[in-house]
Amino acid sequence: MSKAKAPVQKNEMVDVVFEDLTHEGAAVAKIDGYALFVPKGLPGERAKVKVVKVNKGYGFGRLIEITESSEHRATPPCPIFEQCGGCQLQHLDYEGQLKQKRKQVSNVLERIGKLEDVTVHETLGMSDPWRYRNKAQVPVAEREGGLVAGFYQERSHRIIDMESCLIQQEENDQVVQTVKAIANRYHIRAYDEQKHRGTLRHVVTRYGHKTGELMVVLVTKGKELPNKKNVINDIRQALPNVKSIVQNVNNKRTNVIFGEETTVLWGEEYIYDYIGEIKFAISARSFYQVNPEQTKVLYDKALEYAKLTGKETVIDAYCGIGTISLFLAQRARHVYGVEIVPEAIADAKRNAKLNHIENADFAVGEAEKVMPWWYSQGIRPDVIVVDPPRKGCDEALLETIIKMKPERVVYVSCNPATLARDLKVLEEGGYKTKEVQPVDMFPHTTHVENVAVLELRN
């Protein structure tokens, strides 16, 4: 379809009916088969839309007026929802969000994985889907009148100043506002990414949901932190629950948050939190799930799907700091975890010791290389668990799983599209996908986690 043949033109006003949502949360309307993507619309709604961009096979529109509203439309409670890019779905009620996420998973399993007879359960949601995030990473900038701290406006690098974020735990909001006030008090300049000047780049805060412990991380351009002693004292006075104040130095021109150098300015290197009965030590740069309540739901489901009786050998590929491994170790004979990040494996070993778990071993390396070596040493897994990053499993790892032939594979995924792709490979390698359970780890955003279980065909 050439630009000239597109049934709409830029700046044209059109009446549409929205059919679906994309995985990024935009509504989809079809005009003579031509897809128009419109943010903030909902399936089933009729609307007036202004066409803002026309591509070859699809275009983009801006919502001008809703002429017939969805029964699932909600009024976003967040005052900066329209500007901030943090949440995409506050205009859809929570029941609608859970249904939409299940539908998204079903669709990609059929379209990408060609899996048509797999049970996809209803999405497991939260009883209170607000204030769930235990970690905030907030960029800082300067405006007339002092520092601002908040999230980036959608598709831009402009910071929307915020007092409060409704998906953050309130303690994190308090830390950001406190640090902003203290930095203003001592005239600490914000980092300017254009000029590569200034001091304070990000405020990162971590909160132990069960323990109430707080960590404050100041990410700075250089080692120099003006009025360091006063800053530390003022943070401690304002935040009695603070257990750790840390400085991370990042002097590169980059939008990556952390640099390589981390120093504890005051207090402990770690704060602690629990998922279920398992205690975790969390450092400034540890990977730790941001929604501990739903992480427990996710891991309980992974444990259920693993069907452990106490006799099994389990391999946890992409084990991170050992979160799933240690959950599995409570019910398995032995768990082997592998992860490419050395600091994560050091954390995993520390967490095993912290919980007096002796039937878990951890190795640094690529899973697709370490696992065949384990196999050569006589280790025969009954269950393999994978929890890969968004890009999914490495092809060589999927081949390794197929060669090792465990009875069951439990796949924990944060990206339905790569999950579907990888399930297809495992199905072709002799496995049958039994069921998939979506879990809502990030309410009001388009993200959905899943746990899938596969069993070896006879």
- DSSP assignment of 303-321 equals HHHHT--S--EEEEES-TT
DSSP per-residue letters across 314-367: EEEES-TTTHHHHHHHTTSSEEEEEES-HHHHHHHHHHHHHTT--SEEEEES-H
* CA-based torsion, 245, 251, 255, 261: positive or negative: negative
Task: Give the start-to-end residue ranges of the domains of the chain.
Answer: 3-68, 100-127+291-456, 135-275
Superfamily designation of domain 3-68: Nucleic acid-binding proteins (2.40.50.140)
Of 78, 319, 393, 414, which is the active-site residue? 414
Taking the C-alpha atoms of residue 412 and residue 304, their distance in angstroms, rounded to an integer, is 13
Annotated catalytic residue 87? no
Q: How many CA atoms lie within 13 A of 130 on its CB side?
A: 9
Q: How far is CA 110 from CA 159, 267, 447, in A?
A: 39, 51, 19
Same fold? 3-68, 100-127+291-456: no
- The top-level CATH class assigned to 100-127+291-456 is alpha beta
Q: Is 38 in a helix, a strand, or coil?
A: strand
pLDDT number for residue 2: 44
Taking the C-alpha atoms of residue 276 and residue 245, their distance in angstroms, rounded to an integer, is 27
Contacts of 215 (CB under 8 A, 6+ apart): 205, 206, 207, 242, 243, 244, 245, 246, 271, 282, 284
pLDDT number for residue 1: 44
Is CATH 3.30.70.890 correct for 135-275? Answer: no
pLDDT number for residue 4: 53
Task: Collect the ranges in the chain with pLDDT lower than 50.
Answer: 1-3
Radius of gyration of the chain (CA): 24
The structure's pTM equals 0.93
Residues 221-249 have pLDDT tens digits of 999 999 999 999 999 999 999 999 999 99
The number of angstroms, rounded, from the C-alpha of 395 to the middle of its chain's C-alpha atoms is 23
Give the DSSP letter of residue 418. H
Which helix H or strand E contains 400, and what residues bound it? Answer: helix 395-404
pLDDT number for residue 270: 95
Quick check: 178 and 239 in contact, CB under 8 A?
A: yes
Residues 398-422 have pLDDT tens digits of 999 999 999 999 999 999 999 999 9
The residues with which 247 forms a beta bridge, in sequence order, are: 218, 263
Taking the C-alpha atoms of residue 455 and residue 458, their distance in angstroms, rounded to an integer, is 9
